[in-house]
Amino acid sequence: MNWTCLFLIGTCSTWGATDAPFTGDAESISLSESGARIYGQDLMLKRDTPLRLVPGPHLFIDDYYFETAEGVSRVVNVPERDARIPNPIVAGKEDGCFQPYMTVLRDGETGRFRLWFGRRTDDSNASRSRLGYMESPDGIHWERPARVLDDPGGPIQFGVSVVDDGAGAANPAQRYKYAWWFDGGLRIATSPDGLVWAPLSPAVLIRQNHDITGLFYDPIRSRYTATISVYRPGETWQGNRRISMHSHSADLLHWARPRYVVLPETGVDEGETQFYAMDGYLARGDLLVGMVKVLRDDLKADDPPDPPEAYGVGYTSLAWSRDGETWWRDPAHYFNPDPIPGAWDHAHAWIDEQVLVGDEVYLYYGGYARGHKINRFEERQIGLVTVARDRYAGWAGQSAPGRIVTAPLILEGAALSVNARVDGVWVKGQITDAAGKAIEGFTFADAAPLTGDKVAHLLSWKRPLDELAEKPVRLEFELTNATLYAVEMFANMREAVETTMPVTRWEDTICKLEQRLAKEQPAKGATVFAGSSTMVLWDLPKFFPNIATVNCGFSGSHLRDSVYYADRLIIPLAPKAIVVYAGDNDIAQGLTAEDVADDFGKFAQKICVALPETRILYLSIKPSLARWDKWPVMDRANKLIEKFCRTDERVEFVDMTGMSLGPDGKPRADFLRKDGLHLNEKGYAAWTEVLASRLTGRQARPEGRL
């Protein structure tokens, strides 16, 4: 693909914000009052000014950020079913699930997952529902039996949309909001706990002629949005169709005039395409991503159908918005029913909820086995699939390198990461000025290629990104056998490193260290060496033959990693002393001297609380040829840590700087390996001489405690 794109300008409308509350019938509104767009069919408007890339994720779900793209193609990242998930996770027969609608929330205080679903009534009334409720520690395995909550002051026909305003809700008694459809339209109730509900109003709040409603809170625009379904004819399709509208409110009682957000179009949508609802919204950066439930009652799941009267197939498509009013629908199928006959979700697969869980998004969906109206009290069930974070769609390059160039941007941050799956060679990035000329220090040659499959590859160049503040620039990516999904801007390097290099990345390494320690069973009271590769490469039995030592270092680690894993690696050993070398990698990655000093303070605090009699000896960050350009920051970190060590007699600073510099004031090459970074035999011998005297004899220290 090779094109010059047109771009969307947000309408910047305050649609409904100053209008009188809507009191009519939603289906009577003209179809001209529409924010519905079809991706790949409707053109976007060209921007006149650079986009501001603010901190947060920026998804490449479409070509919004691109000016040109050559040798790449857009690919939808279809969720794959995982046999390890015990689907269906909420069953029709066992749990009473009766509808494909649900809300799943993760409690911010406990971390537990809470699920509300449409449950059948005791008399299996096809026009009534109850509110079922379950909890789970992991979002996968749900505790039974399911609870049946009391109705919210009146009957429920359909609808299970629950919003949690959070622990800081302005009115704790109304922290939770619940929306459903009954007797002509949208109704809302509130609750302090999500279990006992009271109606917010006895009246219908938005009148609509189709019995599907939804409610979500838009955190980008700080407002509630109702998704309402209507059934009506239109000029771009034949007959009556189910279609979706949005209305907004600040108080849930007064609602703006609804507007259409999903509409079918003959020639684009095949057969009798209907949109049962849009729900499962998730905000990512400036983007809202919704899940569209597409219904094809003109299709059958099986040929011949089972039973003969079975009909109806349902699948999910993507829709998204950057202004909350104009919604771009992708006509491509995002999630289809299971093609295997007899599968519990063989006829329908309607995603109704998205929950962000670490580096994944949990997609909860309603599944039907054989058709739209077949055995609805047992065959409508809830399942789960997962996808990597922000990977709804991406741009793939093949064996011949593809290239993407963005429109002019203003980079409002200090670091940038890339969400990419690299199956072959690499993704490379460079920064150009607005005219397309590569900027020195930010070229392809100045950046390391990104390899592997990660939702957050840290992009780094020879110069710091904040040098480009307020300057219009372009990002340019080269992709070879790779797919690019998103970028994320970070306000500072600390946040970037913690996101792209989480402490949990060491879990396999730590497990192996634990296994080694369990096998060796070192005696209590030894001296533990902790930190990065400088410790790992130190031959402790050779250089410290008369001191009991335990090596707990792991190569490539940062100080914060040692803080996190101290409870598992160091504290159980109850050492007499701990020798720490870390901070070198931290600064090389872009962290500040203050970041490193702060992390060492956390390490010392943790050890001094758990092991008040244990000494801590911090070895100063060494000057090296490979990282000589970082030495001013490293030197400052050393000075800050040395100052901190004076506050407690248990914490000592061991300065290796003087011996590591030559007469010319530069790193001694004869102390370093060929890589110019790590100590060689001679370097370790010199360091051992200094450290051994500190371990076997103790110098007088200033008084003080942490």
Global pTM value: 0.91
Query: What would the pLDDT profile of 453-505 be if each residue is shown by its tens digit?
Result: 999 999 989 899 999 999 999 999 999 999 999 999 999 999 999 999 999 99
72 — pLDDT class (breaks 50, 70, 90): very high
Q: Say if residues 11 and 325 touch (Cβ distance below 8 Å).
A: yes
Q: Is 426 helix (H, G, I), strand (E, B) or coil?
A: strand
Query: What is residue 9's predicted lDDT score, i.e. its pLDDT?
Result: 36
Q: Cα–Cα distance between 169 and 174 in angstroms, integer?
A: 8
Whether 702 has a pLDDT exceeding 50, the answer reads no
Segment 118-144 mean pLDDT: 97
> Is residue 8's pLDDT more than 50?
no
Per-residue pLDDT tens over the stretch 418-460: 999 998 767 889 999 999 999 999 999 998 888 899 999 999 8
What is the structure's pLDDT at 483? Answer: 96
pLDDT category at 406 given cuts 50, 70, 90 is very high
Predicted confidence at residue 20, as pLDDT, reads: 81
What HEC string does 275-327 produce?
A: EEEEEEEEEECCEEEEEEEEEECCCCCCCCCCCCCCCCEEEEEEEEECCCCCE
Predicted confidence at residue 548, as pLDDT, reads 95
Q: Which tens digit of pLDDT belongs to each residue from 551-560?
A: 999 999 999 9
Residue 698, token pair as written in the block:
């103790």
- Predicted confidence (pLDDT) at residue 704 exceeds the cutoff of 60: no
Residue 459 pairs in a beta bridge with 416
pLDDT at position 295, please?
Answer: 96
- Average model confidence (pLDDT) across the chain: 93
Q: What percent of the chain has pLDDT over 70?
A: 95
What pLDDT was estimated at residue 706? Answer: 37
Confidence of residue 698 (pLDDT cuts 50, 70, 90): low
Q: What is the pLDDT of residues 344-359, one digit of tens each?
A: 999 999 999 999 999 9
Res 210: pLDDT: 95
CA 65-70-75 angle, to 5 degrees, is: 70
CA angle 490, 493, 497 (to 5 degrees): 95
pLDDT (tens digit, 9 = 90+) per residue, 286-324?
999 999 999 999 999 999 999 999 999 999 999 999 999
Residue 192 to residue 553: CA distance in whole angstroms: 49
The residue ranking higher by pLDDT, 44 or 241, is 241
Residue 370 buriedness (CB in 10 A; 0-12 / 13-18 / 19+): buried
Q: How many Å apart are CA 416 and CA 422, to the nearest integer? A: 18
- In which element (H, E) is residue 424 found? strand 415-433
User: Of 90-94, 264-268, 284-288, 377-381, where does mean pLDDT reach its minimum?
Assistant: 264-268
pLDDT band (50, 70, 90) for residue 527: very high
* For residue 6, pLDDT beyond 70: no
Averaged pLDDT, 408-414 = 96
The pLDDT tens digits of the residues spanning 535-570 come to 999 999 999 999 999 999 999 999 999 999 999 999
- Asked if pLDDT for residue 221 goes beyond 70, the answer is yes
The C-alpha atoms of residue 701 and residue 648 are separated, in whole angstroms, by 8
CA 330 – CA 53 distance, rounded (Å):
24
Cβ–Cβ contacts within 10 Å for residue 281, how many? 21
Higher-pLDDT residue of 14 and 382 is 382
pLDDT of residue 355: 98
What pLDDT shows up at residue 45? Answer: 65
Q: How confident is the model at residue 696 (pLDDT cuts 50, 70, 90)?
A: confident
